[in-house]
């Protein structure tokens, strides 16, 4: 009965009343995932954001990444975009000309191979996670018309993001659920928002693969879950460290 009366009086745990070790634990998690989201955004800018050869995310970048640039090959797109700095204009012109000719075998040894060895082999023949362009058959695959991400790539990325982001958003929502001063309906919507926008984002990948008009879904989804996460992180940190200890029921939520 005594415990029940204390609960009725509002003496219950919330972000303002957690013990110091719990606040430190939650704060460490929030800071790390906050930095992770920022770095993820930078990574997107440096990969997808350079798909059209210009820095910054645009609808065209999303279309090129998932639907592809069907007027050219992946190799040509890379040479005019993120890989532009790694070869001279003359070398890039030779490679692009070779691609547009259909990547003929008789020109590979004399014209193409030396450029690849001098400019690309230091990464593309060494780092396991990126294509080994020192192999002719691999290079010729990238010289084909760019149809964007493959089904295998989309499947792999989708399951990684769905499982990984779900755990991140679950723990973030759990921490935020102890916040005070927020209407419980609004709080519930905000907690679900990252999950919803993550589904929109990944659904957008698959739809854009076949219909480029859906590229807007990817931008909306990414912006939505990033914004909702940032709001929950900032509110949680504020209430744990700057807000005065408050009784749970003292707020109309």
Residues 95 and 125 in one domain: yes
pLDDT(151) > 70: yes
Q: Is residue 10 part of a domain?
A: no
* 112 and 193 belong to one structural domain: no
Tokens representing residue 59 in the block: 């609808």
Which of 117, 142, 167 lies at the terminal end of a domain, its last residue? 142
Of 86, 120, 142, which closes a domain? 142
Residue 156 forms part of a structural domain: yes
Does residue 128 sit in the same domain as residue 197? no
**Is there a single domain that holds both residue 155 and residue 217?**
yes
Residues 158 and 241 in one domain: yes
In this structure, the dihedral spanned by the alpha carbons of residues 241, 245, 250 and 252, taken in order and rounded to 10 degrees, is 0
pLDDT for the residue numbered 53: 67
Indicate the number of domains in the chain: 2
Say whether both 153 and 245 belong to one domain. yes
Whole-angstrom CA distances from 53 to 21, 28, 86 are 48, 37, 14
- pLDDT, tens digit, for every residue of 20-73? 999 999 999 999 999 999 999 998 888 777 676 677 788 988 998 999 888 778
Question: From residue 161, how far is each of 31, 179, 185, 195, 241 by CA, in Å?
Answer: 20, 27, 27, 11, 31
Q: How confident is the model at residue 185 (pLDDT cuts 50, 70, 90)?
A: very high
pLDDT over 70 at 248, yes or no: no
* pTM recorded for the entire structure: 0.74
Residue at 8 is within a domain: no
Are 108 and 232 within one domain?
no
pLDDT (tens digit, 9 = 90+) per residue, 59-107?
Answer: 988 998 999 888 778 888 788 888 888 889 999 899 989 988 888 999 9
Judgement on whether residues 108 and 224 belong to the same structural domain of the protein: no
CA–CA distance, 89 with 60 (Å, rounded to integer) = 24
Same domain? For 92 and 174 the reply is no
Q: Are residues 88 and 130 in the same domain?
A: yes
234 and 161 in a common domain:
yes
Q: Is residue 7 part of a domain?
A: no
Is residue 55 assigned to a domain?
A: no
Question: Per the domain annotation, does 2 fall within a domain?
Answer: no
- Joined tokens for residue 117: 């060895």
Residue 63 lies in a domain: no
Domain assignment of residue 64, yes or no: no
Q: Is residue 211 domain-shared with residue 241, that is, in the same domain? A: yes
Chosen domain end from 142, 161, 180: 142
Task: Determine the 3-state secondary structure of 17 from DSSP.
Answer: coil
Q: Which domain holds residue 109?
A: 70-142
């Amino acid at each position: 009965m005594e415990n029940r009366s204390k609960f009725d009086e509002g003496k219950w745990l919330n972000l303002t009343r957690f013990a110091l070790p719990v606040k430190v634990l939650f704060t460490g998690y929030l800071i790390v995932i906050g930095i992770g989201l920022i770095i993820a955004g930078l990574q997107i800018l440096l990969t997808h954001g350079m798909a059209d050869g210009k820095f910054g995310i645009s609808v065209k970048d999303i279309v090129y990444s998932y639907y592809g640039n069907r007027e050219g090959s992946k190799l040509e797109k890379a040479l005019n975009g993120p890989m532009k700095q790694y070869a001279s204009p003359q070398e890039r012109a030779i490679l692009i000309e070779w691609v547009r000719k259909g990547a003929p075998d008789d020109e590979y040894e004399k014209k193409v191979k030396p450029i690849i060895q001098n400019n690309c082999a230091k990464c593309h023949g060494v780092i396991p996670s990126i294509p080994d362009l020192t192999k002719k058959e691999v290079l010729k695959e990238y010289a084909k018309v760019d149809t964007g991400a493959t089904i295998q790539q989309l499947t792999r990325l989708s399951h990684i993001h769905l499982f990984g982001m779900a755990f991140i958003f679950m723990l973030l929502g759990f921490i935020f659920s102890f916040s005070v001063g927020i209407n419980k309906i609004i709080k519930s919507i905000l907690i679900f928002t990252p999950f919803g926008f993550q589904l929109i984002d990944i659904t957008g990948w698959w739809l854009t693969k076949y219909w480029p008009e859906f590229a807007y879904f990817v931008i909306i989804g990414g912006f939505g879950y990033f914004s909702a996460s940032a709001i929950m992180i900032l509110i949680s940190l504020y209430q744990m460290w700057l807000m005065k200890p408050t009784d749970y029921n003292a707020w109309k939520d």
